[in-house]
Amino acid sequence: MADRDGAGQGDKGLAAERGLAAEDRRGLYHAILTRRDVRGQFVPDPIPDDVLARVLLAAHWAPSVGFMQPWSFLLVRDHAVRTRIKEAFDRANREAAEMFEGERRERYRALKLEGILDAPLNLCIVCDRDRAGPVVLGRTHIPTMDLYSTVCAVQNLWLAARAEGLGVGWVSIIDEHALKEVLGLPDHVVPVAYLCLGRVSRFLERPELELHGWRQRLAVEDLVVQDRWLGGPPLDPAFKDALRRAQAAAEDGSLGG
């Protein structure tokens, strides 16, 4: 005998839906389109405990291969610890600048690329590679699926933070070994994302690197291929037109409306 939602007896599934209600759908796309990597717009106001709890739960509800849930969340509040992280960033940032040449190097040096001491909270999302044991459903042939799953938690947290009016900045210019040493991480725990988190004075209209002319948004129609990377059939012209219209709607903020 089926339950009212159509699931079999004992199956506590949710009723199938065609999609979110229009208002919810617009809210979801709005969070996606206005999410920013925040560097210099943090304000010092502390994050309320209930808000922080919600965004961490959103991260914890991310999909994970084999339901392994390999993530953990390391809150970094101590100023001395954050100062050491900032010093590690500064070393790596100087090294990174030397990898560029000429005018590009000077433009790089002018960019603010972190908010480690500005944000009221730092958060390191890590992947415990031993959490689900040596053999994990779905990780048997692609062993990095635990790392990819942890990145899903990062994205969930980022979108939930945007919905809560919080900015997030991902600090990726840092030596991983230095980061692990400062945070006391064992060998099997991998730091996936070191994040700065907090209220902001404003969300920029466009990504900061785009505003500075570092890179521009690519056309999605150039990033979609069919069946094979090389030699596959061309995309249907009507679908390519749909991709163009969707990107135009994303640019003017009406996607999902």
Whose CA is closest to 114, among 138, 131, 91? 91
Whose CA is closest to 42, among 206, 182, 212, 204? 204
Going by the DSSP 8-state scheme, the letter that residue 40 receives in this structure is S
* pLDDT for res 18: 80
Per-residue pLDDT in tens (0 to 9) along the chain, 257 residues: 333 333 445 567 766 678 999 999 999 999 999 999 999 899 999 999 999 999 999 999 999 999 999 999 999 999 999 999 999 999 999 999 999 999 999 999 999 999 999 999 999 999 999 999 999 999 999 999 999 999 999 999 999 999 999 999 999 999 999 999 999 999 999 999 999 999 999 999 999 999 999 999 999 999 999 999 999 999 999 999 999 999 999 999 999 88
Determine how many CB atoms are found less than 10 A away from the CB of residue 127: 24
Beta-sheet pairing, 71-76 with 121-128: antiparallel
Find out whether 69 and 119 touch, Cβ atoms under 8 Å.
no
What DSSP string describes 158-180? HHHHHHTTEEEEEE--S-HHHHH
Q: What is the enclosing helix (H) or strand (E) of 123?
A: strand 121-128
For the chain, list the domains and their CATH numbers.
22-216 (3.40.109.10), 218-252 (no CATH)
Whose CA is closest to 72, among 186, 160, 198, 161? 186
CA angle in degrees (0–180, nearest 5) for 156-154-21: 10
Give the pTM: 0.92
CA angle in degrees (0–180, nearest 5) for 193-57-75: 45
* pLDDT for res 10: 55
Give the CA radius of gyration of the chain.
21
* pLDDT for res 205: 93
Residues linked to residue 125 through DSSP beta bridges, in sequence order: 73, 193
> Both tokens of residue 175?
């030596």
* pLDDT for res 46: 97
